[in-house]
């Protein structure tokens, strides 16, 4: 079996599994908000995890709000910036068309409820947002922009966006910048303080920690408003008893990054071999964003006229698990919003499969995936899509 859907959700990494086995054996549980000894020990362990995460992400522990994941983080940031905003002149949200649905739907929700305008910056055909256009929008609209939301790495294509340049533009014009770093953190080196980003979010399950865990990174947490209101946890910014074991697993998983990152070059080389092999066998195959800066472990590939879902089924019959686009739109044989934004036509857009491995995957996985994909294309290229 080869699991090639790490961008959807990564398996728990070995270090986390070992940590949890020991952790549960110790029966070390209590409410971190209790003032008895056990509670205080748990609190200390949780705060150590926060400190570890902060150090690994290049910031201070006070800038981390631990939560259930990126969707919650994104929702809290939108809520904080859009709900009953003080400066009514700032009524425009600038986003890109390749954002995850959590950003797109929050922008839509707040646009409807607070009477805001959304401007979408264009994405170039190489999958990178048009920085020149973004620069002129910011210049022209700087007094009315309430926030900018452009992601760091795309979940479908793996293409890395110029987030540091965007942060610098936002900083100059004093506009809060929310950068969705869910796909970047744990896969590519990242330093929050150096990035200049105001708000970043991530989910633990994307980098080998437990599901239901996540982080908001905030340059200035006082700009945040509570979204989940309860007993004052997370300095009043997120109520409810903390998922402390989950948070510990994020620290364990992210601590393994430096070691795993050493394998990135080897994975990149093997991915290039794999992609070249497919293209030499099938010159009509299209690799989305082939020449753009991409994460080392993602290939988004189509054979024009062959449905992605059919390819997915063929690969699955050989024990290889991929997706056709983002998990949420898996059941629709339609071109994704991300690909539409890049100007990809339907014959390619309906044919893509996303192969996403992790830094701990075996480089040899690409050989097996290559064999299976060639077999699938051989069979399916004779079958045409009915329009």
Binding site for ligand PLP (CB under 6 A): 69-71, 100, 102, 151, 155, 180, 182-183, 203, 205
Give least dist CB 369 to ligand PLP, A. 21
How do strand 92-96 and strand 117-121 relate by DSSP bridges?
parallel
Give least dist CB 370 to ligand PLP, A. 25
Give least dist CB 174 to ligand PLP, A. 25
Phi, psi of 3 (to 5 degrees): -90, 115
Residue number with CB closer to ligand PLP (210 or 309)? 210
334/313 Cα distance (integer angstroms): 17
Q: How far is CA 156 from CA 289, 322, 329, in A?
A: 11, 12, 11
Give least dist CB 203 to ligand PLP, A. 3
What six digits make up the tokens of 345?
Answer: 């036509």
C-beta of residue 76 within 8 angstroms of C-beta of residue 216: yes
Straight-line distance from the first to the last Cα atom of the chain, in angstroms, rounded to the nearest whole number: 34
371/32 Cα distance (integer angstroms): 51
What six digits make up the tokens of 288?
Answer: 């989305």
Give least dist CB 99 to ligand PLP, A. 8
C-beta of residue 362 within 8 angstroms of C-beta of residue 164: no
10/185 Cα distance (integer angstroms): 12
Give least dist CB 307 to ligand PLP, A. 22
Residue number with CB closer to ligand PLP (100 or 219)? 100
Residue number with CB closer to ligand PLP (138 or 151)? 151
Residue number with CB closer to ligand PLP (64 or 306)? 64
Give least dist CB 232 to ligand PLP, A. 24
158/204 Cα distance (integer angstroms): 18
Residues in the chain: 387
Residue number with CB closer to ligand PLP (183 or 195)? 183
C-beta of residue 298 within 8 angstroms of C-beta of residue 158: yes
Sheet with 214-218, side-by-side order of all strands: 64-67, 214-218, 199-203, 177-180, 145-149, 92-96, 117-121
Give least dist CB 102 to ligand PLP, A. 5
349/385 Cα distance (integer angstroms): 12
Residue number with CB closer to ligand PLP (7 or 233)? 7
Residue number with CB closer to ligand PLP (250 or 278)? 250
Residue number with CB closer to ligand PLP (80 or 202)? 202
308/330 Cα distance (integer angstroms): 10
Give least dist CB 283 to ligand PLP, A. 31
Residue number with CB closer to ligand PLP (90 or 100)? 100
Return the H-helix or E-strand segment holding 356: strand 353-356
219/64 Cα distance (integer angstroms): 9
């Amino acid at each position: 079996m080869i699991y090639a859907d790490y961008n959807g959700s990564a398996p728990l990494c070995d270090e986390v599994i070992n940590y949890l086995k020991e952790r549960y054996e110790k029966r070390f549980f209590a409410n971190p908000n209790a003032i008895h000894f056990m509670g205080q020990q748990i609190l200390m362990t949780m705060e150590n995890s926060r400190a570890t995460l902060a150090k690994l992400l290049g910031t201070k522990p006070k800038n981390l709000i631990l939560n259930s994941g990126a969707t919650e983080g994104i929702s809290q940031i939108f809520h904080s910036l859009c709900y009953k905003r003080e400066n009514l002149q700032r009524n425009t949200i600038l986003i890109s068309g390749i954002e995850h649905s959590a950003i797109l739907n929050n922008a839509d929700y707040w646009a409807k409820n607070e009477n805001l305008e959304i401007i979408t910056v264009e994405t170039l055909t190489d999958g990178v947002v048009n920085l020149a256009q973004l620069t002129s929008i910011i210049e022209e609209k700087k007094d009315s922009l309430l926030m900018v939301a452009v992601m760091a790495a795309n979940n479908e294509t793996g293409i890395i966006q110029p987030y540091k340049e965007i942060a610098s533009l936002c900083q100059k014009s004093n506009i809060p910048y929310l950068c969705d770093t869910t796909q970047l953190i744990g896969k590519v080196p990242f330093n929050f303080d150096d990035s200049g980003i105001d708000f970043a979010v991530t989910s633990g399950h994307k980098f080998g920690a437990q599901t239901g865990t996540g982080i908001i990174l905030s340059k200035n947490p006082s700009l945040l408003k509570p979204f989940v209101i309860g007993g004052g946890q997370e300095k009043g910014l997120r109520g409810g008893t903390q998922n402390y074991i989950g948070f510990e697993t994020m620290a364990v998983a992210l601590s393994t990054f430096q070691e795993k990152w050493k394998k990135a070059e080897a994975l990149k080389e093997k991915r290039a071999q794999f992609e070249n092999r497919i293209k030499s066998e099938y010159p009509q195959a299209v690799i989305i964003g082939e020449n753009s800066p991409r994460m080392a472990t993602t290939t988004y590939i189509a054979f024009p006229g062959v449905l992605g879902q059919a390819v997915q089924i063929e690969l699955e019959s050989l024990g290889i698990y991929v997706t056709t686009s983002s998990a949420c739109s898996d059941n629709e044989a339609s071109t994704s919003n991300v690909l539409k934004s890049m100007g990809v036509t339907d014959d390619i857009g309906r044919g893509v499969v996303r192969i996403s491995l992790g830094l701990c995957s075996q480089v040899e996985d690409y050989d097996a995936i290559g064999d299976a994909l060639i077999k699938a294309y051989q069979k399916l290229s004779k079958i045409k899509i009915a329009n």
